[in-house]
């Protein structure tokens, strides 16, 4: 059997990071191949923005744009520049020697460099009603969706820095914010907790859990059922939106045995670069970023990864 052609670069994931890497790598004549995923529990073609409605903070779109439309434009631009897209998941990767090996649907692909842009999934509580109301008032990103609830009531769930940040941000936009957390103590930094506690628009429901989101029958969020975990009492709280801020899970299953990760599970990159612990492997977007997590920052690191892959090829690959 003949060995497959060795590619200059394979990109894994097709959110803002992966597709921006595709645009830049194609324009540098690297003939990139991007596995965009198949949306079957693996990679999400288009990434997290495919679950968002209105995107009002992506620069260049004065009137806003929907997440799927924005990603359609990214994709069209990557293809037009010459990035080859395959609508498949990657099943396995081997970084142990050059060229790197990538398997998808039983076929082997080889590449000198890899750009990993598999993203991170927002964690959700796991309620059926929550699932039904995603994008209809249930959101995992206050910066993305908060302005849609200007002047309305919001609930935030979580006790980490993200929950504090989201509650503070929403308090500046919404009429009221209820912050629900399952323990009495917050995990968040003291400074961020203090800001929340000092904000008169934010009310706290501690040692409490959200046990139901209303109302799937109305196809929008009208309230939540909050259970006091100490007394067992359940009360109904009216709200127009529920922001779930209970952490994200980076999509590192393919690489976690091979690449160095941060203690929190995200891919470790050299600060200010997309360079990972393996030369020739670059990580861009949310798979390596638990702080900013914005489409525009992911696109920025996708650009960096393509430029770094190109420089790596110039320095290390005489055939290039
Ligand atoms: P996190 O620190 O992991 O906090 C997640 C929170 O969600 C915890 O309070 C946890 O409760 C709660 N939680 C987890 N699963 C839950 C469930 N099933 N039901 C209800 N509550 C649940 O996540 P994060 O807040 O997204 O922060 C991630 C990282 O980013 C952290 O390192 C954070 O410091 C950093 N970050 C920094 C900034 C900043 O500096 N500006 C902003 C945002 C994030 P328990 O506490 O009970 O476990």
Q: Which two tokens stand for residue 141?
A: 């990103």
Secondary structure element (H or E) that encloses residue 309, with its range: helix 295-316
Residue nearest to atom 18 of ligand 1 (CA): 125
Pairwise CA distance, residues 112 & 127, whole Å:
43
Pairwise CA distance, residues 252 & 265, whole Å:
8
Looking at the CA of residue 161, tell me the nearest atom of ligand 1.
Answer: 25
Q: Which residue has the tokens 């806003």?
A: 64
**Paired residues of 10 in beta bridges:** 33, 114
Residues designated as active site: 141, 144-145
Please give the pLDDT value at position 41: 61
Taking the CB of residue 116, how many other CB atoms lie within 10 A of it?
A: 32
User: Tens-digit pLDDT profile for the chain (320 aa)?
Assistant: 577 899 999 999 999 999 999 999 999 999 999 999 986 567 778 887 876 667 888 999 999 898 889 999 999 999 999 999 999 999 999 999 999 999 999 999 999 999 999 999 889 999 999 999 998 999 998 988 899 999 999 999 999 988 999 999 999 999 999 999 999 999 999 999 999 999 999 999 999 999 999 999 999 999 999 999 999 999 999 999 999 999 999 999 999 999 999 999 999 999 999 999 999 999 999 999 999 989 999 999 999 999 999 999 999 976 76
- Comparing CA positions, the residue from 243, 190, 251, 255 lying closest to residue 42 is 251
Three-class SS of residue 58?
coil
Looking at the CA of residue 125, tell me the nearest atom of ligand 1.
Answer: 18
Please give the pLDDT value at position 40: 57
Taking the CB of residue 3, how many other CB atoms lie within 10 A of it?
A: 8
Q: Which two tokens stand for residue 223?
A: 């309230």
Residue nearest to atom 13 of ligand 1 (CA): 246
Residue nearest to atom 29 of ligand 1 (CA): 290
Q: Which residue has the tokens 């922001």?
A: 243
DSSP output for 101-144 = EEEETTEEEEEEEEEE---EEEP----HHHHHTBTTTEES-HHH
Q: Which two tokens stand for residue 7?
A: 């590619």
Looking at the CA of residue 181, tell me the nearest atom of ligand 1.
Answer: 21
How remote is the CA of residue 118 from the centroid of ligand 1, in Å?
A: 21
How remote is the CA of residue 15 from the centroid of ligand 1, in Å?
A: 23
How remote is the CA of residue 125 from the centroid of ligand 1, in Å?
A: 13
Please give the pLDDT value at position 39: 64
By CB neighbour count within 10 A (0-12 exposed, 13-18 middle, 19+ buried), where does 204 fall? middle
How remote is the CA of residue 295 from the centroid of ligand 1, in Å?
A: 20
How remote is the CA of residue 260 from the centroid of ligand 1, in Å?
A: 22
Q: Which residues line ligand 1 (CB under 6 A)?
A: 125, 157-163, 165, 182-183, 187, 245-247, 264, 290-291
């Amino acid at each position: 059997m003949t060995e497959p052609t060795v590619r200059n670069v394979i990109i894994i994931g097709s959110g803002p990071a992966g597709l921006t890497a595709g645009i830049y790598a194609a324009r540098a004549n690297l003939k990139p191949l991007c596995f965009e995923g198949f949306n079957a529990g693996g990679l999400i073609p288009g990434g997290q923005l495919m679950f968002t409605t209105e995107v009002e903070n992506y620069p260049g779109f004065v009137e806003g744009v929907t997440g799927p439309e924005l990603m359609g434009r990214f994709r069209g631009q990557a293809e037009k520049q010459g990035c080859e897209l395959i609508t498949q998941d990657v099943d396995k990767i081997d970084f142990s020697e050059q060229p790197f090996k990538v398997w998808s649907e039983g076929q082997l692909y080889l590449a000198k460099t890899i750009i990993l842009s598999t993203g991170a999934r927002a964690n959700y509580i796991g309620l059926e009603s929550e699932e039904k109301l995603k994008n209809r008032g249930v959101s995992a990103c206050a910066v993305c969706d908060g302005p849609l609830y200007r002047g309305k009531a919001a609930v935030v769930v979580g006790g980490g820095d993200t929950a504090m940040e989201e509650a503070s941000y929403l308090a500046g936009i919404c009429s009221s914010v209820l912050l629900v957390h399952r323990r009495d103590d917050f995990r968040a930094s003291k400074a961020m907790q203090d800001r929340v506690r000092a904000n008169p628009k934010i009310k706290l429901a501690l040692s409490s859990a959200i046990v139901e989101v209303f109302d799937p029958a109305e196809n929008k969020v009208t309230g939540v059922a909050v259970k006091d975990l100490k007394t067992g009492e359940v009360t109904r709280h009216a709200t127009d939106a529920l922001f779930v801020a209970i952490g994200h899970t980076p999509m590192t299953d393919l690489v976690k045995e091979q690449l160095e990760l941060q203690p929190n599970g995200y891919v470790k990159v050299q600060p200010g670069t997309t360079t990972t612990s393996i030369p020739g492997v670059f990580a861009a977007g949310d798979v390596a970023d638990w702080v900013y997590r914005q489409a525009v920052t992911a696109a920025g690191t996708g650009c960096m990864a393509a430029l770094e892959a190109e420089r790596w090829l110039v320095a290390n690959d005489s055939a290039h």
